[in-house]
Amino acid sequence: MYAVVQTGGKQYRVAPGDWLDVEKLPAEVGQQIVLDQVLLLHDGEKAHIGRPLVEGAVVKATVQAQHKGRKVIIFKYRPKKRYRRKAGHRQWLTRLHVDAIELQQ
């Protein structure tokens, strides 16, 4: 069984037991959250495709950590003009452990 969920403007394919890093969510470590924007759910024999969301489908996950991702380097450069700017960015992420995928009918 797997599902495609949307959170933080991105889509992720998840299955029970998966670990997932998503854009920061307002939740405490150890708290269970419900991702209700399920776009597709496949239960092993049949695929439920949402238009745009699958009705009654939820993904339950537990927050494992709030951390920063890898550094992304931004470098601006104008040739022959002595213009160089270097900056870095580290995005806050939430690490989730997918506990269950449920479809209430």
The percent of residues in the chain predicted with pLDDT above 90, rounded, is: 96
Check residue 20 and give its pLDDT.
95
Check residue 104 and give its pLDDT.
86
Q: Which two tokens stand for residue 37?
A: 């924007």
Q: Could you give the strand order of the β-sheet that contains 92-103, starting from the edge strand earlier in sequence? A: 19-23, 92-103, 57-68, 32-35
The model carries a pTM of 0.86
For residues 40-45, give the mean pLDDT: 93
